[in-house]
A and B are shown apart, each in its own frame.
Chain A
């Protein structure tokens, strides 16, 4: 398991921060919460398009950790644990809020708005084209496949963490990921050697 205790990248700083948090230092709590805030927010936007709702959920998630700080181990602030907890909360809260309507199960659903290639700050036409194509391929994947691609390549999580978050077996994740990547590759023509790309990447 990716029980990377080193939450923020610098272990000395981290140990210190952790002790402060445990002793009830609210500022230390804020620093810990900041480490994965964006990752959490980004993940939540794939389930809800309501920023206010997302902020409330993340706030609640962190404040619950704060309330239980004396019983927590550092793993509570590990990215994959936070993502999993947030996923649960988003689903639970949205069911509660919509209690008058049909409770619909939340699912991973990234904004399907067409990727405007013009917004890319990449000058290279070939690269732009490839990115657009890849995006089209990804958008035709199932929601589960999209989520797995997202967790693996956007959030950069290990298979084991993905299994945790998506409540799947480890082997299922490995299979699904393998299948998904293969599906992508089959459609996605191998990129020709393109020196320009390398130059752009350096800029």
Chain B
């Protein structure tokens, strides 16, 4: 038994048992300190001060992180860890013998794999190491920028898995929950959304997907462009591109499809609720009247929670006037760039603006 008789305020405040009594009391601990105080009435002062110290420090420095948020973060990490394991199986390469053996195997296998490259791309596993996972645990919608400039607006509780950089001849992302996509046009690299047993394929368009975790249905709503939706099973078994058209459903603007998992069936219809076709439920109107571009960019930065990097100095003399209504982040960035003769690129989920400044 520890002798608390001669404990100082600091010693009390850092003692595990004392801290438990003050911060997270339970029956036994309470009983212990209650008795101890009765036996040591002259130590009340020290105990009081330690209590006050502990409580005020905890009050001062507490956080508002919920247990659910922690769990969501841990789950996301476990998921990434799971994926990166495939890559790590190669860690035996640290042994020189195996390294040489592997190089020989690699060289002899190269020719073979060269021809099969196309197929290997489809299985994807190799590039999981650079996958990012974004989970929206906030109450607001979350804007996610992809390396090709496409924008996904994630609803609360939804998760999007995507590569740091799109490589290969497709752009693949994985969705759980609901998101609105505005995809940058690239006819040579179709954009594929995998969600709950479905694959949605587009070349460049905007649409919303609702794929709640564990639910039996997936819904796709198209705003602009053309989208094809396939049951995942069919998409993967059919190797030939053209065959996809057979099992898939092609959607035009204002059309929707509901995928029934149990029956593995796609059902086409018209979008009845036009809200589903807007990027965000809270699309805000923004008016800028002769404002410095830097200020406009900072407003967007805040609004979407996405870092926009630019050279303050060269843009300090560029005022613009514009009204934003229903545009999404991409359209807004394009409009600004056009106005000031700049370009932008997306790197690591941030926007980098390249501008030579304005002459006028």
List B residues at the A interface (Cβ < 8 Å). 10, 13-14, 16, 19, 21-22, 25, 30, 34, 37, 44-45, 47-49, 51-63, 65, 70, 73-82, 84-85, 88, 91, 305, 307, 309-312, 350
Q: In the complex the two chains form, is B25's CB within 8 Å of A201's CB?
A: yes
Residues from chain B with a CB closer than 8 A to the CB of A150 are 57, 61
How distant is the Cα of A41 from the Cα of B74 in the complex, in angstroms? 12
Number of A-B contacts (CB under 8 A): 128
- A41-62 to B contact mask, C-beta < 8 Å, 1/0: 1100110000010010011001
Closest Cβ of chain A to B26, distance in Å, is 11
- Within 8 Å by CB of B30, from A100, A193, A202, lies A202
With contact pairs A42-B65, A181-B10 given, residues A131 and B55 touching in the complex (Cβ less than 8 Å): yes
Binding site of B, secondary structure by majority: helix, strand, loop or mixed? helix
> Do B88 and A120 touch across chains, with their CB atoms under 8 A apart?
no
What is the interface size of chain A, counting residues whose CB is below 8 A from a CB of the partner? Answer: 53
10 contacts between A and B (CB under 8 A): A26-B78, A26-B85, A30-B81, A38-B63, A42-B65, A115-B60, A152-B10, A181-B10, A188-B49, A193-B45
Expressed in whole angstroms, the minimum distance between the Cβ of B271 and any Cβ of chain A is 32
A198 to B51, CA, bound (A): 9
Query: By the criterion CB–CB under 8 Å, are B70 and A37 in contact?
Result: yes
Q: A24-B88, A26-B85, A190-B49 are in contact. Are A58 and B73 (CB under 8 A)?
A: yes
CB-CB nearest 8 A-B residue pairs: A134-B56, A30-B78, A26-B81, A131-B56, A26-B82, A153-B57, A130-B52, A191-B48
A63 near B77: Cβ-Cβ < 8 Å = yes
Q: Which residues of A contact B44 (CB under 8 A)?
A: 193, 198
Q: In the complex the two chains form, is B61's CB within 8 Å of A66's CB?
A: no
Measured CA separation A164–B96 after assembly (Å): 36
Binary CB contact string for chain A from 165 to 187 against chain B (1 if under 8 A, 0 otherwise): 00000000000000001000000
| A104 at the B interface (CB under 8 A) | no
Q: Which A residues fall within an 8 A CB radius of B?
A: 24, 26-27, 29-30, 33-34, 37-38, 41-42, 45-46, 52, 55, 58-59, 62-63, 66-67, 70, 97, 99-101, 110, 115, 120, 122, 127, 130-132, 134-135, 138, 149-150, 152-154, 156, 181, 188, 190-191, 193-194, 197-198, 201-202
**Are A127 and B14 neighbours in the complex by a CB distance under 8 Å?**
no
For A41, A153, A194, A197, which residue has the most chain B Cβ atoms within 10 angstroms? A153
Q: By the criterion CB–CB under 8 Å, are B48 and A197 in contact? A: yes
